[in-house]
Amino acid sequence: MKPFSILRCDCLDEIKSETLSYIEDQHPELLNQSSLWHKSDTGAYMARRPTVANWFHSMGWKIREISFTVMTEMKDIGLHVDEGPIVAKVNIPILNTANTFNRWFKIQADAMQDVKYEKINEFGSLYKDFSQLPTSLLDPVGEYELLKPVVFNSAMPHSVHLNSDAVLPRVVMSCMTFNDISSLLV
């Protein structure tokens, strides 16, 4: 499978401004707290009939859940695999994603299966934390500066790298769909 696939979106500016306005109204604290998975009230967001819902609709998809990844420190997010069972989600750049890079790596099958890398997140879901894996065991397979929405392979080990020109806070919205969109990663 591919690590990511760029989506054409003609309404990214509207999505960014609507989402920032939603965060500032409903979750202003979110911009001060680093988190891989800020879960949000998807129903409250969708009740505003946001542009992102129409954009998904135009592709034949429906949003099931949104969450936000927020970075407030000049510190990379270590290598990990998101909680399952979703393999493919849509990641949308909302704020300060220039000079920030998603990186995907292939790691050996025995490490992928090793339970010592399993962790439970704050929602009680299992994810895998490979941040302590020796770099000699990592095989880079892709990198993307998140400037456009992508179908994101969250089942492949990935990290976020900030270069010295990155600006904080960095905010990305992840959308999980009712549809299986993993075919875009084949």
Q: Which is nearer to Fe ion, 4 or 18 (CB)?
A: 4
Q: How far apart are CA 112 and CA 105, in angstroms?
A: 11
Angle between helices 12-26 and 51-58 (to 10 degrees): 140
Q: Which is nearer to Fe ion, 51 or 91 (CB)?
A: 91
State the greatest distance between any 2 C-alpha atoms of the chain, in Å, as a whole number: 47
Say if residues 107 and 71 touch (Cβ distance below 8 Å): no
Q: Which is nearer to Fe ion, 7 or 14 (CB)?
A: 7
Provide φ and ψ at 74, rounded to 5°. -80, 65
Residue 157: is the preceding peptide bond cis (ω within 30°)? no
# residues near Fe ion by CB under 5 A: 1
- Rounded least distance, CB 21 to Fe ion, Å: 25
Tokens coding 127: 């994810």
Q: Which is nearer to Fe ion, 84 or 108 (CB)?
A: 84
Q: Which residue's Cβ lies closest to Fe ion?
A: 82
- Over the window 66 to 105, marking each residue x when it contacts Fe ion by CB under 5 A and - when it does not, the resulting string is ----------------x-----------------------
- Rounded least distance, CB 36 to Fe ion, Å: 6
Q: Which residues contact Fe ion (rule: CB under 5 A)?
A: 82
